[in-house]
Structure 1
Amino acid sequence: MSDSVTDRVTDSVNDDDAVLTRTEGRAGHLTLNRPRALNALTHPMVTRIAGALSAWERDPAVQAVVIDGAGERGLCAGGDIRMIHRDVTSGGGAASRAFWRDEYTLNASIARYPKPYVALMDGIVMGGGVGVSAHGSVRIVTERSRVAMPETTIGFVPDVGGTYLLSRAPGELGTHLALTGASVGAADALRCGLADHVVPSELLPALTRDLAADPVPDVLPRYAAEAPAGTLDDQREWIDHCYAADTVEEIVDRLMAIGEPAAKETAETLLAKSPTALKVTLAAMRRARALDSLEHVMEQEYRVSCAALSRPDFVEGVRAQVIDKDRRPRWTPAALAEVTDAEVAGFFAPPADGELRLADAP
C-alpha cells in the first residue's frame, strides 16, 4: 500500500468545511477539503456530496458538476479507515455499516447522474476516491495520477464499485490490480476503464474556468493530451495467463514459474497480503463479472464489507499499516491453504442488519 494511504491523519477541518460547494457559471463544484488527511472520506462528507448533487440535479442553471480535491497530493486517498477502525473496535461496526450504505448509494447515483459529472483525478485516487470519481461520466487523469484499490493490504476487499470496474477491465488486468492493490498512472487507468481523458495537471485550473462558461464537450478538446506511456500492456501476456487460474494458490504458482522477474515480484507481493482478503477478492471479482449491473455488484460488495468487519484481518491490517505502522500484520489464517471455501462463501451471505437494495431503488 502506498504511503499516501498508510500515513493518513485526522485533520481539524470540521464537517461543514470538509466538502466545499460552490457554483461558477454553468458548473457546480465539489472540493474534498481534508488535505492533511489526503481528503479521506467521512460519513458527513458523503452526505454533503449527495445533498449537493441532488440539489444541482434539480437546478437548471447547473449544467455540469466538477469534483476535485484540496491540497497538492491528490483527489482522495479513500475512506477514513482510522474512523472505521475505531468504530469496529469500540462500537461493533454499526456506524461503518451506515457509512457504507450511504457511500455505496452515492457511488451508484454518480454513475447514473443525468448531467456531466467531471472528476479531476489528479494525484492520488484510491479506494473511496475511486468511488466518487471513476463512476462519473467524464473522468480526467493527469501525469500525476496514481489510481488504486489497495484494500487487500489491510485485510479488506475492493468496494465502492471497484470490483465492478476492475472485473470489466481487459483480460485479467483488473484481477491483477484488485489482488495486488497496485496503483496505475494515466495510460493504464485509461486502458483499464478507470478514466477517459488525460489533461496536464497545470491546465486543470484553466479547464475548470472554461467549464463555467462552455459545455463539457466543447471544453475537453482544448485540453486533452496524449497519455504518458503505461506499463500494463507490456505485462499483459503473463498477467492474463497467471490470473486466469481458478485459485489464488495457482495464481501464485504460475507467477513464480513463468520466468518473468516482474511476475515473481508480484507473487511475493501477494504472499504478504491477507490470505483471506485475497481469496474473497478473487471470488468477488469472478462473481462481479456475472452480475449485470453496478447496483447488483455493489449490493454484493456491501455483504462482503459487512462480513469483513467481524473478521480479524481488517482490524489487524489497519493496526499494522496505519495505527502502529509496524508493517507486520499477523493474518488469521496465516496461509492461503488454511482459508477454506466455506469461510470465503460466508463473506457473501446476507448481512445480519439487512441487505443494501440499490437495484430496486427508484
Structure 2
Amino acid sequence: MTAAEVLVDVSGRMGRLTLNRPRALNALTAEMVQLLDDALSEWEHDPEIACVLIDGEGDRGLCAGGDIRAIYDAALVGDPAPKKFWRDEYRLNARIKRYPKPYVAIMDGIVMGGGVGVSAHGSVRVVTERTKIAMPEVGIGFVPDVGGTYLLSRAPGELGTHAALTAAQLGPAEAIKCGFADHFVPSDSLASLAEDLANAGSDAVDAAVQRHSEPVPPSTFDSDMEWINECYATDDVAEIVRRLRSSGVQAAERAAGAISAKSPTALKVSLRALRTARGLDTLEDCLEQEYRTSCALLSSPDLVEGIRAQVVDKDRNPQWSPGLLDEVSADVVEKFYAAGDDELGLATMEECDD
C-alpha cells in the first residue's frame, strides 16, 4: 500500500501535517497541495484543534520545492497542468497567511521554493541549526514565486534582492534577519516542542515556542549589509553585477559570479518583480503578479533548459536563450507582466470570505 504523501494526524489539541516524500525531499505535488488544503479546511472550525504544525518526513529537510520534473514534462509538450498546480498552490499560500489559528512551521533542514510557501507565511516560523532556506528559481529560468517576492521585497535593505538574484542559501540567522522566520530552536528540541504544542491552547502557543527557543547565532549579513545595500540599489541587473565586481569585496565578487550563471531573462524578470512587490500592499497582490509571470514563463525556453540542466541531465551547464543580459530588452521583460487570461482571482476569494 502506498503511503500518503501528506501524513495528517491529531495529537492532543494540535493538528499535524507531515510532508511525506522523503526520497524526493518532500517536493510538493498537486495531490499534496490538495491534502494540505483539505486538512486546513477541516481544522479551521474544529474547536478541539488549537494550532497546526507542519514539518517534513526524513532528516534532510521540510521541502525542496515543487515537483519541477513534473513541470518539465508538462512544458515539453505544452501541457497547461502546471498552471492548475500553481493556482492551487498559491491559493494555499494565501490561506496559510490568513489562517485563523496558530500555524507553526518547522523549517528544519532544506526549505526551498514551494517549501517556503507552505512555511514562511505561517504565524509561527521555527528554524534550527540545520536550516538552509533558498529561493533558487533564477537558476532554473524561473522567478521567485509562492509569495517569495512578498517576503524578499520586505527584507531589510537589499538583502532580499541579493538572496533572489544569487539564489543564496540562508542559514537560521540569515533567515530570521530577512524575515523568513521568527524563532531559533535546536533540532534536538523539536520533539519536546511538538509535545508542548499538543497540550497548549491557541493562546499558549507563543509561550510554548519561547520555552524551547534559544538566541539566534550571529548572521553573516551583519557584516555584509554595507556592500549589499550599495551594490544592489539599482533597477539594472547588469549594473548590479558591475558594482559587485568592482567593489573590492571578495564575497561581492562571488555574488557576481553566482548571478552571472543564472538565466538572464529570469534575472531581469525577477528584479522587476521584486521592485514592483515593494509597492504592493498584500501577499495576495504579490501572488497575483507571480501567477501571471509564472504562467508566461511556462513557455520560455529557459525554464525547460534550466530544469534539464539541474534535474534531468544534471550537467549543471544550462544554455540560456538569450545568453546575455544585454540581449533581454525591457519590452521582453514587460511581456511577462501583461494582463491576460492567466489571473489568480484571489481578490474574488477575499470577497467571498468577507
Q: TM-score, normalised by structure 2?
A: 0.96
Aligned partner of 1:48 in structure 2 is: 35
Would you say 1:70 and 2:57 are equivalent positions?
Answer: yes
**Matches of 1:316 and 1:198 in 2, distance apart?**
37
Question: Identity over aligned residues, as a percent?
Answer: 60
Helix, strand or coil at the partner of 1:23: strand
Q: Is the Cα contact below 8 Å between 1:121 and 1:141 reproduced in 2?
A: yes
The answer on whether the counterparts of 1:154 and 1:316 sit within 8 Å (CA) in structure 2 is yes
Match of 1:5 in 2: none
Per-residue deviation at 1:234? 0.9
Task: Tell me, yes or no, if structure 1 residue 271 matches structure 2 residue 260.
Answer: yes
Structure 1 equivalent of residue 347 of structure 2: 359
SS of the residue 2:169 aligns to = coil
Q: Once the two structures are superposed, what CA deviation does each residue of 1:152-181 show, in whole Å capped at 9, x if it has no partner?
A: 000000000000000000000000001111
8 Å CA contact 2:235–2:272 kept in 1: the answer is no
Aligned counterparts of 1:218 and 1:295: Cα–Cα separation in 2: 29
Q: Secondary structure at the match of 1:17?
A: coil
Distance in structure 2 (CA, Å) of the matches to 1:173 and 1:67: 27
Deviations 1:72-94 (A, max 9, x none): 0000000000011111112x141
| Equivalent residue number for residue 330 of structure 2 | 341
Letter of the 1:276 partner, please give it. Answer: T
Distance 1:325 1:188 in 2: 28
- Structure 2: gaps (5+ residues): none
CA contact (8 A) 2:19 2:57 kept: yes
Task: Show CA shifts across 1:163-200 (max 9, x none).
Answer: 00000000000000011110111111110000000000
Contact 1:93–1:309, Cα closer than 8 Å, also in 2: no
Distance in 2 (CA, whole Å) between partners of 1:93 and 1:276 is 22
Equivalent of 2:68, from 81, 106, 115? 81
Distance 1:36 1:137 in 2: 28
Question: What's the CA shift for 1:351?
Answer: 4.1
Aligned residue for 2:272? 283
State the match for 2:13 in structure 1. Answer: 26
Q: Deviations over 1:322-359 (max 9, x none)?
A: 1001111000000000000011001111243x311112
In 1, the alpha carbon distance for the partners of 2:340 and 2:309 equals 27
- Counterpart of 2:62, as a letter, is L
Q: Distance in 2 between matches of 1:359 and 1:226?
A: 39
CA distance in 2, matches of 1:332, 1:192: 32
Q: Aligned with 2:310: secondary structure?
A: helix
Distance 1:340 1:118 in 2: 43
Residue aligning to 1:118: 104
CA distance in 2, matches of 1:153, 1:93: 22
| Counterpart Cα distance in 1 of 2:177 and 2:156 | 8
- Retained in 1: the 8 A contact 2:143–2:294? yes
| 1:188 maps onto 2:188 in alignment | no
Once the two structures are TM-superposed, the CA of residue 218 in structure 1 deviates from its matched residue by 2.8
Determine the C-alpha separation between the residues in 1 that align with 2:285 and 2:303.
Answer: 24
Q: Which residue matches 2:145?
A: 159
The answer as to whether partners of 1:307 and 1:351 remain within 8 angstroms in 2 is no
Structure 1: 4+ residue segments shifted above 3 A: none
Structure-to-structure mapping, 1:217-296, within 5 angstroms: 217-296=206-285
> How many angstroms apart in 2 are the aligned matches of 1:237 and 1:42?
40
> Aligned partners of 1:68, 1:223: CA distance in 2, in Å?
17
Distance 1:93 1:197 in 2: 41
Answer whether contact 2:138 2:165 (CA < 8 A) is retained.
Answer: yes
Question: Deviation at 1:246?
Answer: 2.2
Structure 1, residues 236-287: CA drift from partner, whole Å, max 9, x if none? 1000001001200100010011110111111111111000000000000000
CA contact (8 A) 1:155 1:313 kept: yes
**Which residue does 2:45 correspond to in 1?**
58
- Is residue 316 from structure 1 mapped to residue 305 from structure 2 by the alignment? yes
Distance 1:116 1:316 in 2: 40
